Every structure is written in C-alpha cells, then in structure tokens.
A and B are shown apart, each in its own frame.
Chain A
Amino acid sequence: METLKGHPLYPFFWPDSVAVIGASSKPGKVGYAIMSNLILGAEGQLGGGFRGHVYPVNPSGEDIFRQRTYKKVGDIIGKVDLAIVAIPAAGVEQVLDECAGKGIRAAVLITSGFSESGEQGRERERRIVEKARARGMRLLGPNCIGVINTSNRLNTTFAKKAPPRGPISFVSQSGAICTSVIEYSAGEYMGFANFVSIGNKSDLEDSDIIEYYAKDPSTKCISIYMEAAKDGRRFYETLKKKVVPVKPVVVLKAGRTAAGARAASSHTGALAGSDTAYSAAIHESGAIRAVTMLELFDFSRALAYQPPVMGDGIAIVSNAGGPAVIAADVAHDIGLPLSTLSKDTLEAIGSVCPPTWSRGNPVDIIGDSDLDRYQRVLEILVAAPEVHGVITIVGPQAVMPLEDVAHMIVDVSRTTQKPFTASFVGVVGQPSEDYLDQHGIPEMEVPERPVRAMKALHHRGLYLRRRKFA
C-alpha cells in the first residue's frame, strides 16, 4: 500500500493509531460498540481487532476495554493519525480544535444533529467545516458510521458484523445500507476491501472516496449507494476520467421517483438533481447503474470476481428447460446478446448429447444429464470462439449431485478467461452454493439474476473494447 502513503485520505484507511473520542464502557452506547469493534473485532472479523493503536478518550478517565483512557485528546502521548468522534453535536467543534492541536489531520464524525436536522444543525455543520479547513483537517461525515478497512481491520463503525475480506470497495451515503450490505455479504461470501459511510458529506464526498478507491490496489470493483451527489458535475468528471477507466463501478442512485426523491431529501438534507441527469451521467461515464439492492450486490460481485465479457455472445447451458427459457427471455429484454452457435459447436455438442437436446442456444442438455455430459458440453462452449461467457443453469435432480456440479463448474471456469455466472434454481443455503460463491462464481437461486450479472460483465467488456479501439 506504499503507493497511497501521502494521499490525503490515507489516514482514514491506514492510520497507525486512532483516538476514539466519546469511547464508553457501557454496553449499548455507540462509543462502546466502536471500541468493541476496534479492540475485539466485529462479529465475523477474522483475526480480531484493529492492528494499530487505539486510544479511548472520555472525560471520566476510567479504563475502557482495559485500555488506558485519556480525559482529553491532548493528553495522549504519541502520534494520533485518525480521530473517531462520537460525542453529542454541541461538543464537536471544540473537540476538532483539540484534535487539530494534537496534530490530527483526519476525523470521522459519527455524531448526528447537523445539516440533516434543521437550521441550527446546518449552521453547526458550516462552522465545523470552516474550522477543519482553517486547521488543515479532512472530515468524514458527520452523521455517518465511518470506515472499515478489512486489510488492517480498522473499523470505526458500530455495525454488529464485519464484512468478509475481498475485492469490492463500497461507499454509501446511508449508514443503514452499509450495515445491511455487511449482513448480506457475510452469508454470500461477498468480500470487501473497504467500506465508507459518508453521511452528510460536509467535507469528503463520494468523488473523493472513489478517487482513492481507484488507486487502492486491493479494490477490484467500486460500489456506490447515493441519494444525491454534492457536486454532480464533479462526480461525473471523476467517474469518467479517473475511476471507470481503471476499475468497474456500480452505482445505486436512489430517489429515482418523486416519492423517492422526497424521502431522500428529508433523509439527508441533500438537493437531488433530476434523475434523468443522474442516469445520463452514470451511463456516459461508463459506470453501471443498479436500480435495486439485489442488482447492486449481483453486479458488484460479478465485476469483482469475474473477467469482463470480451465479445458479443453468451451461451446459456442448462439441464432444466424452463429456467433456460426464462434466462433467454431476460437476456433478450436487457439486450444481452446470445451466441449463434457455429455448425462445429452444434455438431460437437450433438455428439455428447441425446438427439432431444435443444440444438441451439440456450443449450438445453435435457433433465437426465449426468455430470459427465454437463462437463463435456461446458468444455465445448468454453472452447467455442463465438462464446464469450457462460451462464450455467442447474435444475436439481437425482442423477447429478449438486456439490459435484459446483466443483466441476469451478474447475472448467479455471481453464478460461471467459466469465461464468450460475443459477442452481431454487437452491438456497446448500454447500454447492457456498462452494461457487467462495470460488468467485456468482450463483443465485433464480435464473434471471445470473443473466443480469452477466450483462454487467458485458457492459464492462464493451467499455474496455471501446476504449481499446477509440
């Protein structure tokens, strides 16, 4: 990570030491949950707590989690890189002064009661930003849950769980979306490099965070939840020029409708531009827009774990007729081009299938297919020059154990640079599903989702091909 040292956001992700202002020894308090996540590690956090120093700050001075507690930031002996502020709003301005006096250049403001809560809060927020600017500090928040870096186990949040480690970096305007994504990701083996909740964006905004992610070597895919950009044009220019050229980006911009926009506005106090403009901006930058949370998950997972589709043609292979038909319909609806299989490919598949097979794409290899037939067909499709990605659909039946199919699909996928997505239709919480997830093949229980995930990979491939020939 040496390359990012010196970046203004570096102390937010890679502090050697943090001060928790408002640390508490009382379970149920935010200042307790943050300390617990830093010292013990959140639920599901492998390896325990944060790798750096943690200095609790509380006027009581009583030990918290057996750590020596300081009455004031200024009492801490030694350098502090990041302040985590979780005290009532009225005291934040003074604490920032003390932090600046201590030489701290970065602060996460967990505290709420600022621009999201009326005129007095707006004024308070204006003052803290002014203070931070004057004293050379950068602020994350307020009204946020802060940062998780799964590499050094920095976790400034009071979320119950930690996400698994992996290649996705996420930035969210909503803290609740963050915690929900964490809950979901644990069950799906969807791994994250970094998490940032930016709250009111008083200082740092989406554009700053994604610019950092673009340079972060552990990030392979950037996911964004936003209700309104602080500066729409800057967001667009940052995406288009600095981020999308190096990494795929998925944006869930909520508040598409009048009803949603009203909710978003009262939620964060932000001015939402017209949704048409957001759509145009996201599309034109080369990023992908997700409309639902499920799409945000599915697209991010596919883009983080699978290579892009580098041609125009996908094969759908299935031992189940109905789900393959649904997949083909959805592919058509969303404009995912299916391969027209060549004579050679058709003949090769015909030689390993009974004559009742579909003789086209989707490749329906019939419900009595055993593991060997499925594998041979998959190998033929992967080798076919007209096929640039494969959606594997499996209907559970008695002749083919699901776990064996999962292993076979992973094995075949490793022989190629062509992307795979999968649906084991109707199967939830089985070892086969976990095995695919753990090996980076996005698997979902309904056939339309891997089709949409493949479309995200196709979108990224088109973008890369266009740039190459531009």
Chain B
Amino acid sequence: MKAEEILTAAKAEGRRVLDVHESRQVLLELGVPMNRSALAADRLSAVKAASEIGFPVVMKIVSPDVVHKTEVGGVKVGLRDAAGTGAAFDAMMASVGEKRPDARVRGVVVEEMVRGTELIVGSSCDPQFGRMLMFGMGGVFVEVYKDVSFRLVPISTFDAREMIEEIRGKAIFEGARGHPRADKESLAKVLVDISTGVARHPDIEELDINPLMVTEKGLVAVDARVILGTLGRTCPL
C-alpha cells in the first residue's frame, strides 16, 4: 500500500498511531533504508519469514492498540533458529493475550537483526513554528545527553550537513574506536528525504526512527513510529 493510502485508512478507522508494519511502509516510501522484514499472521509463516531473512532475527507484535510493545512481551530479540522463532511466536501471543486481551493483533513482524551505532531521527510539531526535524545520537545518549540538533522543516542539504556536524558525539559515527563509520552524505540524504516526506504528508504529526543504525554495510532504520494529528488538525508548515 502507498503511504497516502495507509494514512487515509488509519484516519478512516479513527486511529492516530500506525502499527510497525504500516510505519515501515510509510518510511520506505519516504526513501528511508529499512532492515529486511516480513509480516506474519501465524506461527508457520513467522518461521518461514525468519528463514528467508536469515538468522538471527527480531520479532515484534503488530497491533494498532499496542504502543509500548516491550511492556506486553511484544518484542523478542536474537532468535537464532526456526525452533526458537516458533517458540517465541507462541510465547508472544500468550503474553499479549494475557496482558492486553482487548488488543487487536494482526500478527508479528520478523526483522533482520542489525548491529551498529544507534542514531535517532524524528519529526514533531511545534505550536508556533510547525514541523521540526530532530537528529542525534540514539539509545541512552538521547535520554541522558540530549545530543541532538533541530531544524524547521523543510531542510536543505546544507542544513542536514550542519545538523550532523552539530552532534557532540559525532566522533562515534565517524568511526572512533572501531565503531562503524557513517557515510555523512547518505545520512544527510536520509534527513532531507524525511523532511521532504513529512512536509508532503500534513497528516503526520510525529515520526520517529529510533534507532537508525550505522552498520558496516550502511544506514538502516530498525524501528519506526508514525503518529497522525488529531482529527482535522494538521501541522502548520
């Protein structure tokens, strides 16, 4: 499905939060590189998807009603083989069913497990200035050090490069102490693409890519979350 169709469908259902799979589709269309992933509705297709993607994999619950997946046992990492994947599927269904019996469950996504340096990219809405873009160090860094930079959307490539250079811990994704080195031009392109994308879709109020991984093979977005504005309200640009 196209991003616009996904957004329209969610709005029609009165939903503000897109599920993992929908969020991934939207980001792919914006041009963001994503890790390999497949949607699986049952145990068998989950195992099949994992074998195709290649172990190890991560499994996440797909439900429009579950925002914090970890808290309901909706995330399993480091699944190494078919047996483990099958068992993880059963455990996840049981756990989510027990903790959130009301939640609609569409299945799980099985994703390629990616190692690297965690970056974060997000877009939010300021009441005075409208849409903004954030970039910085992900994981613990964003919470503790707040090592992030902001710009108003839309940004230029120049702005994107500046955002990258403003990060105090940039030495880490520049390859310090054996960390994988990010290609800054690709990174700038991701930022510009997201900026252009959210500007094109006024219904998106928030968008988070956390983490965007810097790997030896390049940049890969691993988790994404898209939230729509409340009914009829769009972010001023």
The interface of chain A, by Cβ under 8 A from chain B, is 228-229, 231-233, 236, 271-274, 276-281, 283-284, 466, 470
- The answer to whether A271 touches B127 (Cβ under 8 A) is yes
**Residue from B150, B158, B236 with most neighbouring chain A CB atoms (10 Å):** B150
Q: How far is the CA of A276 from the CA of B127 in the complex (A)?
A: 12
Minimal beta-carbon separation of A231 from chain B (angstroms)? 8
Q: From B133, which residue of chain A is reached at the shortest CB distance?
A: A280
Tell me how many residue pairs across A and B have CB atoms closer than 8 Å: 49
Smallest Cβ-Cβ distance to A232: which chain B residue: B128
Residues of B within 8 A of A271 (CB): 127-128
Q: A284-B159, A466-B158 are in contact. Are A229 and B150 (CB under 8 A)?
A: no
Q: Tell me if A281 and B152 are in contact (CB < 8 A).
A: yes
**A470-B157 Cα distance, complex, nearest whole Å:** 11
The residues in B between 221 and 236 inclusive whose CB is less than 8 angstroms from any CB of A are: 236
Total count of chain B residues near the partner, CB < 8 A: 14
What are 22 A-to-B residue pairs whose CB atoms are below 8 Å?
A: A228-B128, A229-B128, A232-B128, A232-B129, A233-B129, A233-B130, A233-B236, A233-B237, A236-B129, A271-B127, A271-B128, A273-B127, A274-B128, A277-B126, A277-B128, A277-B129, A277-B152, A280-B151, A281-B129, A281-B152, A284-B151, A284-B152
Tell me the complex Cα distance, A274–B132, Å. 11
Please provide the 9 A-B residue pairs with the shortest distance between their CB atoms, ordered closest to farther: A273-B128, A232-B128, A277-B126, A232-B129, A277-B129, A280-B150, A280-B151, A233-B130, A276-B150
Contacts of A231 in B (CB 8 A): 128
Chain B residues near A273 (CB, 8 Å)? Answer: 126-129
CA distance A182 to B176 in the complex (A): 51
User: Is the CB–CB distance between A277 and B237 below 8 Å?
Assistant: no
A233 CB contacts on chain B under 8 angstroms: 128-130, 236-237
Q: Which residues from A are CB-within-8-Å of B127?
A: 271, 273
Give A229's nearest chain B residue, CB to CB: B128
A284 to B130, alpha carbons, bound, how many Å? 14
Interface string of B149-164 (1 = CB under 8 A from A): 0111001001100000
**B-side interface residues toward A, CB under 8 Å?**
126-130, 132, 150-152, 155, 158-159, 236-237
Shortest Cβ distance from A270 into B: residue? B128
Q: How far is the CB of B182 from chain A (nearest CB, A)?
A: 22
CA distance A281 to B152 in the complex (A): 6
> Cβ of A283: which chain B residues have Cβ within 8 Å of it?
151
Is A236 a contact partner of B152 (Cβ separation < 8 A)?
yes
Q: Quick check: A277 and B150 within 8 Å, CB to CB?
A: yes
Instruction: Considering the complex, give the chain A residue whose CB is closest to the CB of B236.
Output: A233
Q: Which one of A228, A272, A280, A283 has the highest number of Cβ atoms from chain B below 10 Å of its Cβ?
A: A280
A228 to B150, CA, bound (A): 19
Question: In whole angstroms, how far apart are the Cα atoms of A470 and B236 in the complex?
Answer: 27
Q: Which of A233, A236, A277, A470 has the most CB of B within 10 A?
A: A277
B237 contacts A279, C-beta separation under 8 Å: no
A283 to B149, CA, bound (A): 11
Which of B150, B151, B152, B159 has the most CB atoms of chain A within a 10 A radius of its CB? B152
Chain A residue at smallest Cβ distance from B126:
A277
A279 to B150 Cα, complex, angstroms? 8
- Chain B nearest CB from A462 CB (Å) reads 11
In the complex, chain A residues whose CB is within 8 Å of the CB of B236: 233
Q: How far is the CA of A274 from the CA of B150 in the complex (A)?
A: 12
A380 to chain B, nearest CB (A): 33
Q: List the B side residues contacting A276 at CB < 8 Å.
A: 126, 132, 150
Across the interface, which residues of A come within 8 angstroms of B126, CB to CB? 232, 273-274, 276-277
Contact B152 A280 (CB under 8 A): yes
How far is A274 from B134 in the complex, measured between Cα atoms in Å? 14
- Docked Cα-Cα span, A236 to B155, in Å, equals 13
CA distance A274 to B126 in the complex (A): 7
Residues B132 and A280 in contact, CB atoms below 8 Å apart: yes
Question: How far, in angstroms, from A350 to B200 measured CA to CA in the complex?
Answer: 61
CB-nearest residue of chain A to B130: A233
User: Which B residue's beta carbon lies closest to that of A279?
Assistant: B150
Q: Give the CA-CA distance A169 to B129 in the complex, in Å.
A: 25
Nearest residue, chain B, Cβ from A273? B128
Give Cα A236–Cα B152 distance, bound, in whole angstroms.
Answer: 9
A-B contact sample (17 more), CB < 8 A, given A280-B129, A284-B159, A466-B158: A228-B128, A229-B128, A232-B128, A232-B129, A233-B129, A233-B236, A271-B127, A271-B128, A273-B127, A273-B129, A274-B126, A277-B128, A277-B129, A278-B129, A280-B132, A280-B151, A281-B152
Complex CA gap A229/B128 in Å reads: 8
Task: Report the minimum CB–CB distance from B206 to chain A (whole Å).
Answer: 14
A283 to B159, CA, bound (A): 10
- Which residues of chain A are near B150, meaning CB under 8 Å? 276-277, 279-280
Taking the nearest CB of chain B, how far is it from the CB of A228, in angstroms? Answer: 8
**Residues in B neighbouring A279, C-beta threshold 8 A:** 150
Which residue of chain B has its CB nearest to the CB of A470?
B158
Q: Is the CB of B132 within 8 A of A277?
A: yes
Interface-central residue, A228, A272, A281, A470, by most chain B CB under 10 Å: A281
A278 — which chain B residues lie within 8 A by C-beta? 128-129
B190 CB to nearest chain A CB (Å): 18
CB distance from B71 to the nearest CB of A (A): 28
Considering the chains assembled together, what is the distance between the CA atoms of A281 and B128 in angstroms? 10
Q: For the complex, give the distance between the alpha carbons of A188 and B155 in Å.
A: 39
Residues of B within 8 A of A470 (CB): 158
Chain B residues whose CB sits within 8 angstroms of the CB of A274 once the complex forms: 126, 128
Docked Cα-Cα span, A470 to B151, in Å, equals 19
